[in-house]
């Protein structure tokens, strides 16, 4: 087969390795922390999680400069734990879900909040609010073999040195194994899939010139300048 034009593979950095993680798909969980659900006008009941996606090539490194996206006057940060899958499957049990995890990273699910609000009001999809260029910040992935499973750890984000988000990943409404198991009932998960697991309260606006720093204890950190 002859390709009309070559496609560049999307890969992510693996901490402590020259190897790269091939990114297949990006799934994101909405409203997975109670206080964030409240600040977004929702209720924090433990209903089944809902998912949305970003294109794989939305990935941008955790130390990169990020261009302010077009068509928004209200870009928001959302610090998140990211799960990288090394295997997959359908209808996974929570035990099988744990075994599918290759590693973890720190992410920032950037959101054009004004476009999201317009889409919600019109009962339209969120794609252009969530899936734009450089909207999926990702730190180097740390392997489970190196750090284990961080089911409790501080998660935080600051803008120009001022704290915005500060919580613990143990506060997730749906923990990581349950997220993976539930998602696997909708689609067949495979190696290379990334899952952004939701953000704690304190999301807010980012403007040109801001330095956004964040991290998860034992997992990693990010520091992006918006230009």
Please state, in angstroms and rounded to a whole number, the distance separating the CA atoms of residues 10 and 67: 19
Q: What is the per-residue pLDDT for 43?
A: 61
pLDDT tens-digit map of 19-29: 999 999 999 99
pLDDT tens-digit map of 133-191: 999 999 999 999 999 999 999 999 999 999 999 999 999 999 999 999 999 999 999 99
- pLDDT of 42 strictly over 70: no
Ordered by start, the domain boundaries in the chain are: 18-225
Q: What is the per-residue pLDDT for 209?
A: 98
Three-state SS across 96-140? HHHHCEEEEEEEEECEEHHHHHHHHHCCCCCHHHHCCCCCEEECC
Q: What is the per-residue pLDDT for 197?
A: 97
Q: What is the per-residue pLDDT for 37?
A: 57
Please state, in angstroms and rounded to a whole number, the distance separating the CA atoms of residues 12 and 103: 12
- 18-225 CATH: 3.90.850.10
Q: What is the per-residue pLDDT for 87?
A: 98
What pTM does this model have? Answer: 0.95
76 contacts 69 by C-beta, under 8 angstroms:
no
Query: 82: pLDDT confidence band, cut at 50, 70 and 90?
Result: very high
On average, the pLDDT of the chain sits at 94
Q: What is the per-residue pLDDT for 8?
A: 87
- pLDDT of 4 strictly over 90: no
Which positions ≥6 away from 54 have C-beta within 8 Å? Answer: 26, 28, 109, 130, 131, 135, 136, 196
């Amino acid at each position: 087969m002859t390709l009309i034009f070559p496609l560049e593979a999307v890969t992510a950095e693996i901490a402590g390795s020259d190897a790269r993680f091939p990114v297949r798909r990006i799934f994101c969980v909405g409203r997975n922390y109670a206080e964030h659900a409240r600040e977004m006008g929702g209720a924090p009941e433990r209903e089944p999680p809902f998912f949305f996606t970003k294109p794989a090539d939305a990935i941008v490194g955790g130390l990169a400069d990020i261009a302010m996206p077009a068509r928004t006057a209200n870009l928001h940060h959302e610090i998140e734990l990211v799960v990288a899958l090394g295997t997959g499957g359908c209808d996974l049990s929570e035990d099988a879900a744990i075994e599918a995890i290759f590693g973890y990273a720190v992410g920032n699910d950037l959101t054009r909040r004004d476009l999201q609000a317009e889409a919600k009001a019109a009962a339209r999809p969120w794609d252009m609010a969530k899936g734009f260029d450089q909207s999926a910040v990702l730190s180097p992935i740390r392997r489970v073999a190196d750090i284990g499973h961080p089911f409790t750890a501080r998660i935080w984000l600051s803008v120009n040195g001022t704290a915005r988000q500060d919580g613990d990943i143990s506060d997730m409404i749906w923990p990581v194994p349950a997220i993976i198991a539930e998602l696997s009932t909708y689609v067949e998960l495979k190696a290379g899939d990334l899952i952004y697991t939701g953000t704690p309260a304190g999301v807010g606006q980012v403007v040109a010139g801001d330095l956004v720093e964040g991290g998860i204890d034992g997992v990693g950190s990010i520091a992006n300048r918006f230009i």
